[in-house]
């Protein structure tokens, strides 16, 4: 004797049972509501978006150009500073009157806050407002220093 095994899927079996229960003794079909089959994986309603790459906010000032200034305190004198700015990074040259030196210099500007150095053993911090900036300087390894200010000349 040969056996035949018939397998129904849940959807197929449900449709078959609905069809069987839809008939009545009079032979007139009775409508039976059916629902769409449930899926195991949710269907996305929109394509996923790529996450934005965070970037540093641009500096609120542009310091590129030539600045002339003075410093007083432990050291006294004048300086000429030439800045090149890329975002918040400053690079350039400073020429000091006392002690007489010409040095490469780097710094940063964030909003209106500026810091640069070390010029030898000196670091500068301060604020920028339009075409002027000022602040204090400190000598590395000590608590001594002084004040400085500069104006943009070109």
Tens of pLDDT, residue by residue over 120-141, are: 788 999 999 999 999 999 998 8
Closest by CA position to 120, among listed 144, 143, 96: 96
pLDDT at 40: 58
Whole-angstrom Cα distance, residue 88 to residue 60? 9
Residue 24 predicted with pLDDT over 90: no
Whole-angstrom Cα distance, residue 138 to residue 131? 23
Closest by CA position to 108, among listed 81, 82, 136, 85: 85
DSSP assignment letter at 106: E
| Backbone angle region of 139, left / alpha / beta, with phi > 0 → left and psi within -120 to 50 → alpha | beta
State the burial class of residue 68 (Cβ atoms within 10 Å of its Cβ: 0-12, 13-18, 19+): middle
Whole-angstrom Cα distance, residue 113 to residue 91? 16
Helix (H, G, I), strand (E, B) or coil at 122: strand
Residue 154 predicted with pLDDT over 90: yes
* Average pLDDT over every residue of 98-112: 92
Residue 106 predicted with pLDDT over 80: yes
Q: Domains of the chain by range and CATH? A: 65-152 (2.40.128.120)
Three-state SS across 53-74? CCCCCCCCCCCCEEEEEEEEEC
């Amino acid at each position: 004797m040969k056996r035949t095994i018939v397998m129904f899927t849940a959807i197929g079996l449900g449709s078959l049972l609905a069809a069987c229960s839809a008939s009545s003794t009079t032979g007139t079909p009775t409508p039976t509501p059916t629902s769409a089959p449930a899926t195991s994986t949710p269907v996305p309603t929109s394509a996923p978006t790529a996450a934005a790459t965070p970037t540093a906010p641009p500096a609120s000032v542009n310091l590129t150009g030539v600045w002339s200034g003075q410093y007083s305190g432990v050291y006294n004198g004048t300086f000429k500073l030439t800045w090149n700015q890329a975002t918040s990074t400053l690079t350039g040259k400073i020429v000091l009157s006392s002690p007489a030196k010409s040095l490469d210099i780097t710094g940063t500007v964030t909003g209106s806050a500026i810091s640069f150095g070390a010029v030898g053993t000196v670091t500068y911090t301060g604020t920028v407002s339009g075409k002027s900036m000022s602040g204090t300087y400190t000598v590395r390894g000590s608590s001594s220093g002084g004040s400085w200010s500069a104006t943009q000349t070109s």
